[in-house]
Structure 1
Amino acid sequence: MAFSQRTTLISHHRTHSREKPYQCCQCDQAFSLTISIIYHMRTHTGEKPYQCRQCEKAFLQNSDLIKHMRIHTREKTCQYNLCDKAFSMNCYLIKHLRTHTGEKTYQCRQCDKAFSLKTYLISHHRTHTRQKPYQCYQCDQAFSQNNSLIKHMRTYTGRNHFNAAYVSRLSQRTVIL
Protein backbone atom coordinates (compact mmCIF):
# COMPACT_ATOMS: atom_id res chain seq x y z
CA MET A 1 0.00 0.00 0.00
CA ALA A 2 1.34 3.45 -0.90
CA PHE A 3 0.41 6.77 0.68
CA SER A 4 0.91 10.20 -0.85
CA GLN A 5 1.05 11.98 2.51
CA ARG A 6 2.91 11.10 5.68
CA THR A 7 -0.14 11.88 7.85
CA THR A 8 -2.22 9.36 5.89
CA LEU A 9 0.41 6.68 6.51
CA ILE A 10 0.44 7.49 10.23
CA SER A 11 -3.36 7.31 10.39
CA HIS A 12 -3.30 3.97 8.58
CA HIS A 13 -0.63 2.63 10.95
CA ARG A 14 -2.88 3.45 13.92
CA THR A 15 -5.55 1.09 12.58
CA HIS A 16 -3.07 -1.75 13.13
CA SER A 17 -1.41 -0.52 16.33
CA ARG A 18 -4.71 0.59 17.90
CA GLU A 19 -2.92 3.71 19.12
CA LYS A 20 -5.39 6.40 20.18
CA PRO A 21 -3.47 9.59 20.96
CA TYR A 22 -6.47 11.96 20.95
CA GLN A 23 -8.09 11.88 24.39
CA CYS A 24 -11.40 13.58 25.12
CA CYS A 25 -11.05 16.10 27.94
CA GLN A 26 -14.67 15.56 29.06
CA CYS A 27 -14.87 11.77 29.16
CA ASP A 28 -12.53 8.78 28.95
CA GLN A 29 -12.87 8.10 25.22
CA ALA A 30 -9.79 8.21 23.01
CA PHE A 31 -9.45 8.32 19.22
CA SER A 32 -6.89 7.50 16.57
CA LEU A 33 -7.91 10.30 14.17
CA THR A 34 -8.18 14.05 14.69
CA ILE A 35 -11.49 14.20 12.83
CA SER A 36 -12.92 11.53 15.13
CA ILE A 37 -12.31 13.63 18.24
CA ILE A 38 -13.79 16.67 16.49
CA TYR A 39 -17.00 14.75 15.76
CA HIS A 40 -16.99 13.29 19.27
CA MET A 41 -16.65 16.70 20.94
CA ARG A 42 -19.86 17.74 19.20
CA THR A 43 -21.71 15.15 21.28
CA HIS A 44 -20.64 17.10 24.38
CA THR A 45 -21.29 20.58 22.99
CA GLY A 46 -24.49 19.68 21.16
CA GLU A 47 -23.16 21.35 18.02
CA LYS A 48 -24.80 20.12 14.82
CA PRO A 49 -23.36 22.30 12.05
CA TYR A 50 -24.98 20.54 9.08
CA GLN A 51 -28.60 21.66 8.80
CA CYS A 52 -31.26 20.53 6.35
CA ARG A 53 -32.75 23.48 4.48
CA GLN A 54 -36.08 21.73 4.00
CA CYS A 55 -36.96 20.59 7.51
CA GLU A 56 -34.27 22.27 9.66
CA LYS A 57 -33.09 18.97 11.15
CA ALA A 58 -29.39 19.23 12.04
CA PHE A 59 -26.55 16.70 11.98
CA LEU A 60 -23.07 16.20 13.41
CA GLN A 61 -21.58 15.14 10.08
CA ASN A 62 -22.15 16.18 6.49
CA SER A 63 -22.46 12.53 5.43
CA ASP A 64 -25.49 12.17 7.73
CA LEU A 65 -27.09 15.24 6.14
CA ILE A 66 -26.52 13.79 2.67
CA LYS A 67 -28.24 10.53 3.69
CA HIS A 68 -31.08 12.51 5.26
CA MET A 69 -31.64 14.54 2.08
CA ARG A 70 -32.69 11.35 0.30
CA ILE A 71 -35.89 11.48 2.33
CA HIS A 72 -36.84 14.78 0.70
CA THR A 73 -35.67 13.92 -2.81
CA ARG A 74 -37.11 10.40 -2.58
CA GLU A 75 -33.83 9.23 -4.08
CA LYS A 76 -33.49 5.48 -3.67
CA THR A 77 -29.92 4.39 -4.31
CA CYS A 78 -30.07 0.97 -2.64
CA GLN A 79 -31.72 -1.48 -5.04
CA TYR A 80 -32.68 -5.12 -4.54
CA ASN A 81 -32.97 -6.77 -7.93
CA LEU A 82 -34.90 -9.92 -6.99
CA CYS A 83 -38.06 -8.03 -6.07
CA ASP A 84 -37.36 -4.65 -7.71
CA LYS A 85 -37.58 -2.78 -4.41
CA ALA A 86 -35.40 0.27 -3.82
CA PHE A 87 -34.51 2.06 -0.59
CA SER A 88 -33.09 5.43 0.36
CA MET A 89 -30.59 3.94 2.83
CA ASN A 90 -28.63 0.73 3.01
CA CYS A 91 -29.95 -0.08 6.49
CA TYR A 92 -33.51 -0.21 5.06
CA LEU A 93 -32.35 -2.56 2.31
CA ILE A 94 -30.72 -4.85 4.89
CA LYS A 95 -33.96 -4.94 6.91
CA HIS A 96 -35.88 -5.78 3.74
CA LEU A 97 -33.47 -8.58 2.81
CA ARG A 98 -34.34 -10.29 6.09
CA THR A 99 -37.94 -10.65 4.91
CA HIS A 100 -36.60 -12.82 2.07
CA THR A 101 -33.98 -14.77 4.03
CA GLY A 102 -35.87 -15.14 7.31
CA GLU A 103 -32.63 -14.18 9.07
CA LYS A 104 -33.11 -13.34 12.74
CA THR A 105 -29.88 -11.83 14.00
CA TYR A 106 -31.15 -10.39 17.28
CA GLN A 107 -31.21 -13.15 19.90
CA CYS A 108 -32.87 -12.79 23.30
CA ARG A 109 -30.40 -13.58 26.09
CA GLN A 110 -33.14 -14.79 28.42
CA CYS A 111 -34.98 -17.23 26.17
CA ASP A 112 -34.56 -18.92 22.80
CA LYS A 113 -36.45 -16.34 20.72
CA ALA A 114 -34.73 -14.43 17.92
CA PHE A 115 -35.87 -11.43 15.89
CA SER A 116 -35.14 -9.86 12.53
CA LEU A 117 -35.14 -6.31 13.88
CA LYS A 118 -33.51 -4.84 16.98
CA THR A 119 -36.71 -2.94 17.80
CA TYR A 120 -38.58 -6.27 17.98
CA LEU A 121 -35.99 -7.64 20.42
CA ILE A 122 -36.22 -4.53 22.60
CA SER A 123 -40.00 -4.84 22.64
CA HIS A 124 -39.78 -8.56 23.49
CA HIS A 125 -37.24 -7.91 26.25
CA ARG A 126 -39.93 -6.02 28.16
CA THR A 127 -41.85 -9.30 28.58
CA HIS A 128 -38.98 -10.48 30.78
CA THR A 129 -38.35 -7.24 32.66
CA ARG A 130 -42.02 -6.18 32.90
CA GLN A 131 -40.75 -2.71 32.09
CA LYS A 132 -43.44 -0.23 31.05
CA PRO A 133 -41.74 2.85 29.61
CA TYR A 134 -44.83 4.32 27.91
CA GLN A 135 -46.76 6.32 30.49
CA CYS A 136 -50.09 8.01 29.91
CA TYR A 137 -49.81 11.71 30.69
CA GLN A 138 -53.52 11.78 31.68
CA CYS A 139 -53.42 9.04 34.32
CA ASP A 140 -50.98 6.72 36.09
CA GLN A 141 -51.25 3.83 33.65
CA ALA A 142 -48.07 2.65 31.93
CA PHE A 143 -47.58 0.28 29.03
CA SER A 144 -44.81 -1.90 27.68
CA GLN A 145 -45.67 -1.10 24.05
CA ASN A 146 -46.20 2.26 22.36
CA ASN A 147 -49.21 0.96 20.41
CA SER A 148 -50.91 -0.05 23.68
CA LEU A 149 -50.56 3.51 24.93
CA ILE A 150 -52.03 4.83 21.68
CA LYS A 151 -55.07 2.53 22.06
CA HIS A 152 -55.42 3.69 25.66
CA MET A 153 -55.30 7.37 24.66
CA ARG A 154 -58.34 6.83 22.44
CA THR A 155 -60.38 6.43 25.63
CA TYR A 156 -59.69 10.10 26.38
CA THR A 157 -59.93 11.60 22.92
CA GLY A 158 -61.94 9.23 20.76
CA ARG A 159 -59.37 9.87 18.03
CA ASN A 160 -58.30 6.93 15.91
CA HIS A 161 -54.99 8.40 14.75
CA PHE A 162 -52.06 9.77 16.72
CA ASN A 163 -48.59 10.70 15.65
CA ALA A 164 -46.64 7.83 17.24
CA ALA A 165 -43.48 9.93 17.58
CA TYR A 166 -45.46 12.60 19.44
CA VAL A 167 -46.99 10.05 21.81
CA SER A 168 -43.56 8.56 22.39
CA ARG A 169 -42.05 11.95 23.27
CA LEU A 170 -44.86 12.68 25.69
CA SER A 171 -44.75 9.38 27.46
CA GLN A 172 -41.51 7.50 27.21
CA ARG A 173 -39.32 7.21 30.23
CA THR A 174 -35.66 6.26 29.86
CA VAL A 175 -35.25 2.69 28.65
CA ILE A 176 -32.10 0.89 29.73
CA LEU A 177 -31.37 -2.61 28.47
Structure 2
Amino acid sequence: MNVLNIHKRTIQQPKDIVTALLKTLSTENDKIWPKEKWPPMKFKAGIQESAKGGHGPIRYSVEKYTPNEIIQFRFLKPSGFNGIHKFEIRELSEEQTEITHTIDMKTVGKGTLIWLFAIRSLHNALIEDGFDKLENHFSEHKKNTQWNFWVRFLRKQLSKKRK
Protein backbone atom coordinates (compact mmCIF):
# COMPACT_ATOMS: atom_id res chain seq x y z
CA MET A 1 0.00 0.00 0.00
CA ASN A 2 1.38 3.43 -0.89
CA VAL A 3 1.25 5.83 2.06
CA LEU A 4 1.68 9.58 1.81
CA ASN A 5 0.84 11.23 5.12
CA ILE A 6 1.52 14.98 5.42
CA HIS A 7 1.07 17.34 8.37
CA LYS A 8 1.82 21.07 8.12
CA ARG A 9 1.74 23.89 10.62
CA THR A 10 2.45 27.59 10.15
CA ILE A 11 4.33 29.09 13.08
CA GLN A 12 4.22 32.86 13.53
CA GLN A 13 7.97 33.13 14.04
CA PRO A 14 11.06 33.64 11.88
CA LYS A 15 12.66 30.51 10.46
CA ASP A 16 15.84 30.81 12.55
CA ILE A 17 13.84 30.70 15.80
CA VAL A 18 11.86 27.63 14.68
CA THR A 19 15.05 25.98 13.45
CA ALA A 20 16.69 26.54 16.85
CA LEU A 21 13.86 24.59 18.47
CA LEU A 22 14.02 21.81 15.89
CA LYS A 23 17.71 21.37 16.71
CA THR A 24 16.67 20.24 20.21
CA LEU A 25 14.86 17.20 18.75
CA SER A 26 15.87 14.00 20.57
CA THR A 27 17.91 15.85 23.21
CA GLU A 28 17.36 16.09 26.97
CA ASN A 29 15.87 19.55 26.37
CA ASP A 30 13.63 18.51 23.44
CA LYS A 31 11.25 21.37 22.63
CA ILE A 32 9.44 19.62 19.76
CA TRP A 33 8.79 15.95 20.49
CA PRO A 34 5.78 15.49 22.81
CA LYS A 35 7.62 13.11 25.15
CA GLU A 36 5.27 14.11 27.96
CA LYS A 37 2.54 12.08 26.20
CA TRP A 38 4.46 9.70 23.90
CA PRO A 39 7.59 7.54 23.98
CA PRO A 40 10.61 9.82 23.53
CA MET A 41 12.64 9.93 20.32
CA LYS A 42 16.11 8.63 21.14
CA PHE A 43 19.40 8.57 19.25
CA LYS A 44 22.52 7.51 21.19
CA ALA A 45 24.81 9.87 19.29
CA GLY A 46 22.21 12.59 18.67
CA ILE A 47 20.73 13.43 15.31
CA GLN A 48 23.36 13.14 12.62
CA GLU A 49 23.47 11.34 9.30
CA SER A 50 23.48 7.52 9.63
CA ALA A 51 22.54 7.64 13.34
CA LYS A 52 20.08 4.93 14.38
CA GLY A 53 17.26 5.37 16.87
CA GLY A 54 13.53 5.81 17.05
CA HIS A 55 10.59 6.04 19.39
CA GLY A 56 8.57 3.22 20.93
CA PRO A 57 8.58 0.25 18.50
CA ILE A 58 9.37 2.46 15.49
CA ARG A 59 13.04 2.35 14.46
CA TYR A 60 14.79 4.42 11.81
CA SER A 61 18.09 5.89 10.75
CA VAL A 62 18.91 9.47 9.86
CA GLU A 63 19.26 9.53 6.09
CA LYS A 64 19.62 13.26 5.51
CA TYR A 65 20.19 16.15 7.89
CA THR A 66 20.51 19.77 6.88
CA PRO A 67 19.87 21.62 10.19
CA ASN A 68 18.03 24.62 8.74
CA GLU A 69 15.94 22.66 6.25
CA ILE A 70 15.35 18.93 6.72
CA ILE A 71 15.74 15.88 8.90
CA GLN A 72 14.92 12.74 6.93
CA PHE A 73 14.68 9.29 8.47
CA ARG A 74 14.52 5.85 6.79
CA PHE A 75 12.34 3.24 8.48
CA LEU A 76 14.08 0.15 9.87
CA LYS A 77 11.13 -1.28 11.86
CA PRO A 78 8.40 -2.37 11.91
CA SER A 79 8.79 -4.91 9.19
CA GLY A 80 6.76 -3.92 6.15
CA PHE A 81 7.41 -0.17 6.46
CA ASN A 82 9.53 0.68 3.43
CA GLY A 83 10.24 4.36 3.06
CA ILE A 84 10.95 7.57 4.90
CA HIS A 85 9.56 10.19 7.22
CA LYS A 86 10.90 13.70 7.48
CA PHE A 87 10.59 17.11 9.06
CA GLU A 88 11.06 20.09 6.75
CA ILE A 89 11.22 23.78 7.58
CA ARG A 90 10.36 26.47 5.05
CA GLU A 91 10.31 30.24 5.44
CA LEU A 92 6.98 31.68 4.32
CA SER A 93 7.88 35.27 5.24
CA GLU A 94 10.19 37.05 7.68
CA GLU A 95 7.72 36.28 10.48
CA GLN A 96 6.15 33.00 9.33
CA THR A 97 7.64 29.54 9.09
CA GLU A 98 6.04 26.33 7.93
CA ILE A 99 6.99 23.00 9.46
CA THR A 100 5.98 19.87 7.58
CA HIS A 101 6.13 16.25 8.60
CA THR A 102 5.79 13.70 5.80
CA ILE A 103 5.65 9.93 5.73
CA ASP A 104 6.27 8.56 2.25
CA MET A 105 6.40 4.78 2.30
CA LYS A 106 5.09 1.59 0.86
CA THR A 107 3.72 -0.92 3.32
CA VAL A 108 3.61 -4.64 2.68
CA GLY A 109 2.11 -7.61 4.50
CA LYS A 110 1.70 -7.16 8.23
CA GLY A 111 3.05 -3.61 7.91
CA THR A 112 -0.08 -2.60 5.99
CA LEU A 113 -2.36 -3.90 8.75
CA ILE A 114 -0.27 -2.27 11.48
CA TRP A 115 -0.40 1.05 9.62
CA LEU A 116 -4.13 0.94 8.91
CA PHE A 117 -5.36 -0.21 12.31
CA ALA A 118 -2.88 1.30 14.76
CA ILE A 119 0.09 3.38 13.67
CA ARG A 120 -1.71 5.80 11.32
CA SER A 121 -4.05 7.16 14.00
CA LEU A 122 -1.40 7.16 16.71
CA HIS A 123 1.09 8.86 14.37
CA ASN A 124 -1.40 11.58 13.41
CA ALA A 125 -2.09 12.34 17.08
CA LEU A 126 1.63 12.33 17.96
CA ILE A 127 2.58 14.75 15.18
CA GLU A 128 -0.25 17.15 16.02
CA ASP A 129 0.82 17.01 19.70
CA GLY A 130 4.38 17.84 18.62
CA PHE A 131 3.25 20.73 16.45
CA ASP A 132 1.11 21.98 19.36
CA LYS A 133 4.17 21.83 21.63
CA LEU A 134 6.23 23.79 19.11
CA GLU A 135 3.55 26.41 18.54
CA ASN A 136 2.84 26.75 22.28
CA HIS A 137 6.36 28.11 22.83
CA PHE A 138 5.13 31.30 21.15
CA SER A 139 1.46 31.54 22.06
CA GLU A 140 -0.51 32.73 25.06
CA HIS A 141 -3.45 30.55 23.99
CA LYS A 142 -2.13 27.03 24.33
CA LYS A 143 -3.14 24.51 21.67
CA ASN A 144 -4.10 21.02 22.73
CA THR A 145 -5.36 18.94 19.82
CA GLN A 146 -7.90 16.44 21.10
CA TRP A 147 -7.35 12.75 20.42
CA ASN A 148 -10.12 10.92 18.63
CA PHE A 149 -11.88 7.87 20.09
CA TRP A 150 -9.63 5.38 18.26
CA VAL A 151 -6.42 6.97 19.59
CA ARG A 152 -7.78 6.99 23.16
CA PHE A 153 -8.89 3.35 22.77
CA LEU A 154 -5.52 2.19 21.37
CA ARG A 155 -3.55 4.00 24.05
CA LYS A 156 -5.71 2.45 26.75
CA GLN A 157 -5.14 -1.02 25.29
CA LEU A 158 -1.39 -0.45 24.99
CA SER A 159 -1.15 0.80 28.57
CA LYS A 160 -2.89 -2.40 29.79
CA LYS A 161 -0.27 -4.48 27.93
CA ARG A 162 2.56 -2.72 29.76
CA LYS A 163 1.14 -3.49 33.20
The structure with the largest alpha-carbon Rg is: 1
The reply to whether TM is greater than 0.5 is no
Q: Which has the higher relative contact order, 1 or 2, with Cα contacts under 8 A spaced 6 or more apart?
A: 2
The normalised TM-score by structure 1 is 0.22
The normalised TM-score by structure 2 is 0.23
Q: Larger % of helix: which?
A: 1
Q: Larger % of strand: which?
A: 2
